[in-house]
Amino acid sequence: MITNQIYLIRAGVRSSLSTSRKIISQTASSHSSSRCFSSSCFRPAKREKVNPYTETLLLPKTKFPLRAEAAKREHMYLDRCTKELYPWQLENNPKSPFILHDGPPYANGNLHSGHALNRVLKDIVNRHKVMLGHKVIYRPGWDCHGLPIEMKALEEIRKKGTTTDLSPVEIRRLARKKALFEVERQKKDVMSWGVLGEWENPYMTLTKDYEIRQLQLFHDMIKKGYIYRQLKPVYWSPSSRSALAEAELEYNENHVSQSIHVGFPIKQLAPAIEKRWKDIVPTHQLQALIWTTTPWTIPSNKAISVHPQLSYSLVEVTRGNTPQFYIVGTDCLPALQDELNLSTEQWRCLDHAQGSELVDTEYIHPFYASTHPIIAGEHVTAESGTGLVHTAPGHGMDDYEVCIKMGIQPFSPLDDAGKYTKEAGPEFVGKDAFTEGNSKVISTLQEMKALVHQKAYVHKYPYDWRTKKPIMLRATAQWFANVETLQKEAVKALDSVRMIPAVAYKRLEQFTLSRKEWCISRQRAWGVPIPALYDVETGEALMTEASVQHIIQVFSERGTDAWWEEPKDNVFVAPEYQTNGKTYRRGYDTMDVWFDSGTSWTMLKDIPDRDPTKPVADVYLEGSDQHRGWFQSSLLTSIATTGKSPYSTLITHGFVLDEAGYKMSKSLGNVMLPTTITHGGKDKVKSPAYGTDVLRMWVASCEYTKDVSIGPTIIAQVSDMMRKIRTTARFMLGNLHDFHSSNSVPFHQLKEVDHYMLHELYQFNERISYAYDSFSYNRVVHDLQYFTTNTLSAFYFDVIKDRLYNEKADGESRRMAQTVLYEILNSYTTALAPLACLTAEEIYEDYRAMTPQPASSIFKKGWLYKDPQWSNSTLEAKWAVMKELKNHVNQVLEYARQDKILKSSQEAQVCVVIDQHTTSGQAIHAVETSELASFFLTAQVHLNDKEVKETSLEREITLKDGTVCKIHVERTKHHKCPRCWNYQASEADILCSRCTHVLSA
């Protein structure tokens, strides 16, 4: 009894399709601790009547709960499928090692949904490979150097009121402590997501072993001539006071600059044009008109560039009493007229010349009275500006390249903080280039009557991704890796890499080809030191193979901290340079963190049992931003030193957005942290604790190759999906409570519907395997959902309930259904395991005793079993006709209910009239009518070749192949069996023959 309420058990669950799909708990009329499995399995009855056959039914029994109760139960299964499983599979799995190399995230800050997407995707890949029998090697990593960690450490010091005027040694100590703290904090979170890996030995870029490997690779690149030092423009962040890599930039689409048109006075025209123009206008009245959005670079001007093939015009502009004479690109004149708001009468064109004729013209810098040339530049266009480009080789790569060919050296009178130095002139020194310096340049130009026009200009501009402040291109002496010589080889290597999605190839190719060099030096204390020595007198750098190898040897003994801690420079000078008459000092630049992480593949070189011809890693899997970052830096360092790609397969995922498609931010209040999903928020009603597997299933359900969404509604939907999965597993477990694999019925003895179900299972296993092999986990989820709802709940479970509940416990028909149910449960749990590992372990825990060789974990059972004899395309075609006919029968039954002919389908007697000489007719006539009745959920089914006498209701329908048939429905003359509730009894309140036989046995 349940709360003193008596229920009549309805075992013949065929009365209603809608109720028969509900698989809930089990009744407990004889076992008070169990629950009723289906709402269609019981009915409230009058208290004075008790069904005497209730206890004779074989209703589902299981301890597997409908609710996951994650907070109470997940911890019971976590260790067995993580800590215990990882070493087991390395020791016992028979296949070759599979290596998914972890791209190290920054050891900085809380983990967000993007981290969960990344780590869980990797875990799904690895768990699938474990179940296939591979020895999976997954060593989680962390990027521990660089500015973000250094800034966080210093920020904590500031909050405590401690001085930030710290030595590099103190900064490194604080940064190391901060990084290690963050690693432990992040590691704990990731492990709680059920991620399998070598958690006791993660790799960190701050360890001595890692740093020595990195420096050794750096040494190899020196040996091959890829490393050099040069004064040239690099991305420079005044707010960070360091050079940046391109991958460390983000772009502000709404940056506001002051755009200016400036007239540079001509001193001497080029010979090619002087004779023609000196008669038109005196040379000293001529001006070369330039346009720029970076007024602060005007003090650094060293040339003006023109395109040799463009047409240029000499124009007279009258604004006020005195005409001005400008050289302007001819194609730029209409835009210039609009920009300066000139009427037709205010300007006129006096002559034209080719850009090549202007080359070698000299002009005067308005600030310094210095003379500079007009030079040819292929980068010049007439798409914007004036066609004459203000050229500052210290602040632009195009400018640098065009000037260096002419012997014009870069000039950048700015310090590390972006303030003008004394080289800019006394009126500018000490002023911030972006702010007061910019204003001072404009006002000075105005005073000197060189400013022609000024206005605010909104455009896209690069920012430091950490400080969120604008950066500049600034010429400083930096260390570079020459990747221009590696580009073609790197792109060629990508041809042999499997890309998911395929479009990632083009993206990575474009980024690789567009990068000619890689600035690898940074001006920070927290990082791996660049092992460079400098001549004290000349400043010349010493970086030879012998010198670097000697420094590496010192680091091997004392660690990289010695670079800052050791008071004597000569400790780092190799013996062969000790007596050359020079004195050396250390440089204190550190390596770009992308070089740090980009060398992580070197840890994989020594793994045993790997094919040396293959890349060191089978898979790299990271976000799309890594096409500019880790994917590329790993590729370039590997090509430079080994000549091949470090990865065989490269998988790219998108970013995580909110449900409306917006980027998540604290200011918008749309951030959804993984911990909120797994453990719940402060308000457990609004933010319940869904548990780890809901988080994992969200990841699996995403089309991760694009940007994905997350939010309360989406997570609630995933939770509902997990509830349906648990319900389905619970039905199978409950109906296998008295089954063992040794009870299985041989395949050839099974009923046809069972054969067909095994065919469906074979197809399901094929689809699931293909989706996993394709890394298409959202397809796995889709197939699981479809299989759950349509194949199992709406079809097979309906068909077999009568056999499961009403036959003898060891009856052949019931054992047949259990045999198939057992195979389904195996496949269902296996398919689910890589996605929702804890739920799969819980399901397996409930049925492993019925398996021939129980294992301690579902992940030790191997992959999906696909018996070839299950596959039967002929049967598939036949049952396709059956399902189509059932849909039509259901419609006719619904008409009968509406016409009050029937109360439920179980009362119906159906007669199908169909020509057995047609293809569809042959298929239907070949099925036993008892199986058809079970399939249609009706009392009886008759098949006829010819028309039958008129019945209560009939409909003529046409099947897809054109076969016409008639469906007749009337109320059966049989009576309802009081035990199974099927209308098979010959008299009222009398058992049907089947139930009589079961009870007599």
CB atoms closer than 10 angstroms to residue 1001:
9
How far apart are alpha carbons 980 and 997 in whole angstroms? 13
Tokens of 869: 């004899």
Within 8 A by CB and 6+ apart from 889, the residues are: 910, 912, 936, 938, 967
95-101/617-623 β-pairing: parallel
| Cα 131–Cα 135–Cα 141 angle in degrees, nearest 5 | 105
Q: In Å, what is the CA distance from 240 to each residue of 72, 236, 418, 728, 763? A: 47, 8, 10, 56, 58
Q: Please classify residue 47 by burial: count the beta carbons closer than 10 Å to its beta carbon, then call 0-12 exposed, 13-18 middle and 19+ buried.
A: exposed
The answer to whether 65 touches 39, Cβ cutoff 8 Å, is no
pLDDT of residue 54: 87
pLDDT of residue 342: 87
pLDDT of residue 163: 64
**Alpha-helical runs (H) found in 261-351:** 271-277, 333-339
pLDDT of residue 40: 39
CB atoms closer than 10 angstroms to residue 249:
16
Segments in the chain below pLDDT 70: 1-49, 162-164
How far apart are alpha carbons 82 and 60 in whole angstroms? 32
Q: Please give the order of strands across the beta sheet that includes 953-958.
A: 940-944, 908-914, 964-971, 953-958
pTM as predicted = 0.85
pLDDT of residue 64: 94
Beta bridge partners of 964: 958
* Chain Cα centroid distance, residue 605: 26
What DSSP element (H or E) covers 258? strand 249-268
Amino acid at residue number 301: N
42-44/7-9 β-pairing: antiparallel
Q: In Å, what is the CA distance from 785 to each residue of 18, 718, 773? A: 18, 11, 19
Q: In Å, what is the CA distance from 236 to each residue of 395, 521, 806, 842? A: 10, 11, 79, 54
Amino acid at residue number 205: T
CB atoms closer than 10 angstroms to residue 514:
10
pLDDT of residue 164: 60
Beta bridge partners of 32: none
pLDDT of residue 72: 82
